[in-house]
């Protein structure tokens, strides 16, 4: 488990801070200092809030979520990690130097992690220079510190591998644990922090818009299908009623009637909803109504003629 300590701000080798001022926004497409974009899901992760120089202003892609952080947390940039079976403790910095002003004469300011060797008169041993470029190895977010002091084999230099884990439940800024070492040359740590969680995800935003658009399209298709079925049922009902009235009418009258499919297409509202209801009040010229009226008039004339014939016969 680690506990934070304060350290002054130090120059960041390879951090890229201030390098994009003369590139007319070319770096806007690239991750800013101590940040990375997850290639698997597009999530943007900003680890600079664990360093001595957190991203702010134009470089702050976290927006309000980062600007509302506790300003006191910015001073917690050195982390003391218990070594457990390694019989020493480590001092670790994230994207910044782990060396305080009191040790500037004993260690290089680019040292990202070190420990005290109690077997060699409490000598300070560097286990790597800090880096500002976290990377993804598969689904694991890691960072490597290299070019530390000479390893016991006299050839290689000490290095550090840090694994970051997203943890939204912890109450502190970060929890750092020492996982182990290999041949007193390579050291492994795990950092659990809310800052290792993505603060924005462009891919998810695009997916949400696509889902919403799909829902709207499906709703429109269902509404159009409902209106088509409704018009078919209404047309069929009207056709049945008109057929009952025209059973005794000549066939040439049925030939003058408008086809059913044309009436259905005319009644479907293609330019907006609600027009079919307003069309009911419009004047409709239908041959079927006229034919029914003519049939009634013929029947009345025949009845009057029959009454006249009977009256004449009685006289």
Whether the predicted pLDDT of 237 surpasses 80: no
Which is it for the CA torsion 73, 74, 75, 78, positive or negative?
positive
In whole angstroms, give the CA distance from residue 271 to residue 275. Answer: 8
Grade residue 233 by pLDDT with cuts at 50, 70 and 90.
confident
Best-predicted range by mean pLDDT (79-93, 228-242, 277-291): 79-93
Query: CA angle at residue 28 from 25 to 32, to 5 degrees?
Result: 125
pLDDT recorded at residue 303: 77
Average pLDDT taken over every residue of the chain: 74
CB count within 10 Å of CB 66 equals: 17
- Which domains are delineated in the chain? 2-198 (2.70.130.10), 203-302 (no CATH)
H and E: helices and strands count for the chain:
6, 13
Whether the predicted pLDDT of 181 surpasses 50: yes
Whether the predicted pLDDT of 283 surpasses 60: no
pLDDT recorded at residue 64: 42
Of the candidates 33, 68, 38, the residue with the CA atom closest to the CA atom of residue 52: 33
Best-predicted range by mean pLDDT (44-53, 177-186, 218-227): 177-186
Grade residue 190 by pLDDT with cuts at 50, 70 and 90.
very high
C-beta of residue 86 within 8 angstroms of C-beta of residue 114? no
Query: What is each CA distance from 57 to 13, 64, 78, 196, 308, in whole angstroms?
Result: 21, 10, 24, 20, 104
CB count within 10 Å of CB 233 equals: 10
Q: Is residue 35 classed as helix, strand or coil in its secondary structure?
A: strand
Q: Is residue 61 classed as helix, strand or coil in its secondary structure?
A: coil
Of the candidates 104, 102, 96, the residue with the CA atom closest to the CA atom of residue 9: 96
CB count within 10 Å of CB 130 equals: 29
pLDDT digits (tens, 9 = 90+) for 111-158: 999 999 888 788 899 999 999 999 998 889 999 999 999 999 999 999
User: E strands of 183-287, at which residues?
Assistant: 186-193, 200-201
In whole angstroms, give the CA distance from residue 33 to residue 47. Answer: 8
pLDDT digits (tens, 9 = 90+) for 82-113: 988 888 899 999 999 989 888 888 898 899 99
Whether the predicted pLDDT of 10 surpasses 80: no
> Looking at the whole model, is its pTM more than 0.75?
no
Query: CA angle at residue 110 from 104 to 114, to 5 degrees?
Result: 75
């Amino acid at each position: 488990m680690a506990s934070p300590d304060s350290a002054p701000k130090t120059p960041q080798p390879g951090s890229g801070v201030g390098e994009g001022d003369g590139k007319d926004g070319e770096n806007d497409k690239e991750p800013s200092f101590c940040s990375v974009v997850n290639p698997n899901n597009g999530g943007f992760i900003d680890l600079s809030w664990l360093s001595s120089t957190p991203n702010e202003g134009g470089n702050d892609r976290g927006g309000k979520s980062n600007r509302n952080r506790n300003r006191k947390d910015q001073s917690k940039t050195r982390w003391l990690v218990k070594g457990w079976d390694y019989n020493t403790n480590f001092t670790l910095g994230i994207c910044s130097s782990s060396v305080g002003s009191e040790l500037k004469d004993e260690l290089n300011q680019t040292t990202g992690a070190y420990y005290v060797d109690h077997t060699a008169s409490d000598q300070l041993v560097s286990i790597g220079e800090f880096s500002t470029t976290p990377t993804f190895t598969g689904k694991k977010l890691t960072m490597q510190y290299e070019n530390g002091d000479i390893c016991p084999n006299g050839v290689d230099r000490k290095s550090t591998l840090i694994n970051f884990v997203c943890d939204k439940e912890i109450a502190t800024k970060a929890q750092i644990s020492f996982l182990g070492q290999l041949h007193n040359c390579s050291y492994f740590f795990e950092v659990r922090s809310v800052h290792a969680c993505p603060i924005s995800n462009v891919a998810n935003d695009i997916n949400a818009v696509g889902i919403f658009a799909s829902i709207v399209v499906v709703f429109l298709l269902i509404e159009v299908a409902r209106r088509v079925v409704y018009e078919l049922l209404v047309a069929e009902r009207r056709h049945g009623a008109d057929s009952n009235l025209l059973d005794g009418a000549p066939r040439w009258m049925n030939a003058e009637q408008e086809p059913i499919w044309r009436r259905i297409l005319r009644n479907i509202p293609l330019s907006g909803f609600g027009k079919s209801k307003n069309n009911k009040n419009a004047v409709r010229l239908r041959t079927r109504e006229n034919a029914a009226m003519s049939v009634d008039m013929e029947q009345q004339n025949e009845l009057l003629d029959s009454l006249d014939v009977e009256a004449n016969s009685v006289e």
